Amino acid sequence: MHILIANLGSTSFKYRLYQMNGQDECVLASGGFERVTDYAEVIQQALAELVDQGHLKSIEDIDAVGFKTVLGKNLSGCVDADEKVIAALDGFREVAPAHNPPYAAGIKLFQELLPQSRLVALFETAFYQWIPESASRYAVPQSWYDAGIRRYGFHGASHKFVAERSAELMGREDVAEVVRNLYQDGPRTLSGKPLRVISFHLGGSSSVTGIRNGVAVGTSMGFSPQSGLPQNNRVGDLDSGAIPFAIKTLGISMEEAEQTLTKKSGLLGVSGVSNDLRDIRQAAAGGNPDAQLALDQLIHSARQWAASYLFDLGGLDALVFTAGIGENNAWLREAICADLEDFGVEIDVDKNNACQAQEAIISSDQSKVKIIVIPANEELVLAREVTRKIS
């Protein structure tokens, strides 16, 4: 079975072609285009290259196309990418302007180019469908809630992969099985001690999620991808009262305020140096106090969100780091885990320093809580879910 994963950004198109046959999961090809101005042109070029390079006999060999859609109004889960999905994306285009319009346009294009293929959308919000309403609802009137204003959560594919893989590494096949079938069967009550995991997805945008027996109990991102931890150039959490105050005091428009919070804030805004953590750390090492403050804020926020899930989980069995920043920065993992020995969290400095973007357990032998690095593989999650959906 050939599954094409289509990743559409505001000016980019990336793809990965999988061959999925039971336990045999193989990446046949991958590629991408940047600075895209005509999606139809680059998608047709990508399809032609897959045939020309011998990965497919023809584009009719593509059984399904998977889309990692972000946020849909009144719609979530793993669903057929049809007119309902396009309408849901359009309904929240202002909330996720960098993601929803490209995906809506891309789905329409693939409907035309591959009419014989099944199109499937896996929303980033899908992993959080079972978070209790007490944790997902803001303290707003019913009319606001009915309009769709609530905590949705993002990076769902990444945290789902962590939930499944950490269960396997912890010898909990029962939990891993729940995660594999979560979008088809929903949560399932398990006997015995629960598996309690806190997952750090730390990358260009970051989030922390609490997971019990493979199911999310809470997450740091809320109504939009602008919330939670300080992002590379997005503000993260901000008191709503700050926006009208800034508009009045600084003499700016609502549009200017929004652009500042989504393009010029976060690590970039605080450091004044860059939105790239490597540049910020280099500046901090050179004595730049603003760069050091940006690093300290990221660490503080990650620890604060992780701590917020300890009570909900009733304890902790594993801390997991994933995504580009989490996988590649031993110093950041060490800082987040610092001084937690009384909570049973003890990192092994040598194991941690030796781990660079590879799967590894980096906790000490004495640590009651496992500290694990699991490289992100969101495309594989999507390929698996598409396969389950169409099988």
Report residue 323 as tokens: 């995504």
Q: What is the predicted pLDDT for the residue at 280? A: 97
- Mean pLDDT confidence for 1-14: 91
Domain count, the chain: 2
Over residues 118-164, the pLDDT tens digits come to: 999 999 999 999 999 999 999 999 999 999 999 999 999 999 999 99
Q: Residues 162, 118: one domain?
A: no
Domain-located, residue 383 = no
Q: Residues 79, 195: one domain?
A: no
Residues 6+ positions from 249 with CB-CB distance below 8 Å:
none
Q: Residues 235, 308: one domain?
A: yes
Over residues 320-341, the pLDDT tens digits come to: 999 999 999 999 999 999 999 9
Question: Among 102, 123, 144, where does a domain finish?
Answer: 123
Q: Residues 229, 373: one domain?
A: yes
Q: Which of 34-43, 191-200, 203-212 has the lowest mean pLDDT?
A: 34-43
Q: Looking at the chain, list the stretches that DSSP marks H as alpha helix, in order from N- to C-terminal side.
A: 39-52, 83-91, 100-113, 133-136, 142-146, 156-169, 173-180, 182-185, 242-250, 254-263, 266-271, 277-285, 289-308, 310-313, 323-328, 330-336, 349-354, 378-390
Report residue 200 as tokens: 């750090």
Binding site listing for ATP: 14, 276-278, 324-328
Q: Residues 199, 333: one domain?
A: yes
Domain-located, residue 267 = yes
Q: Look-up: residue for tokens 């920065």?
A: 329
Domain-located, residue 391 = no
* Residue range(s) defining the domain that contains residue 83: 2-123
Binding site listing for Mg(2+): 7, 378
- Mean pLDDT confidence for 364-379: 96
Q: Residues 97, 167: one domain?
A: no
Binding site listing: 7, 14, 276-278, 324-328, 378
Domain-located, residue 138 = no
Domain-located, residue 332 = yes
- Report DSSP state, residue 60: G
DSSP letters along 81-122, please?
-SHHHHHHHHHTTTTSTTTHHHHHHHHHHHHHH-TTSEEEEE
Domain-located, residue 139 = no
Q: Are 197 and 374 in contact (CB under 8 A)?
A: no
- The answer, yes or no, to whether residue 109 has pLDDT greater than 80, is yes
Q: Residues 361, 246: one domain?
A: yes
Higher pLDDT, 75 or 35: 75
Q: Residues 285, 168: one domain?
A: yes
Domain-located, residue 131 = no
Best CA proximity match to 237, nearest among 221, 251, 218, 250: 221
CATH (domain of 113): 3.30.420.40
- How far apart CA 179 and CA 177 sit, in angstroms, is 5
Report residue 212 as tokens: 């019990």
Domain-located, residue 129 = no
Report the C-alpha dihedral over residues 244, 248, 251, 256, rounded to 10 degrees.
Answer: 0
Q: Residues 117, 264: one domain?
A: no
Query: Cα dist. 361→215, 243, 303, 369 in Å?
Result: 22, 43, 19, 11
Q: Residues 22, 107: one domain?
A: yes
- The answer, yes or no, to whether residue 10 has pLDDT greater than 80, is no
Q: What is the predicted pLDDT for the residue at 97? A: 86
Strand order of the β-sheet with 24-33 is: 24-33, 13-21, 2-8, 64-67, 118-122, 78-80
Q: Residues 12, 67: one domain?
A: yes
- Mean pLDDT confidence for 225-240: 93
Q: Residues 220, 320: one domain?
A: yes
Report residue 296 as tokens: 């300290």
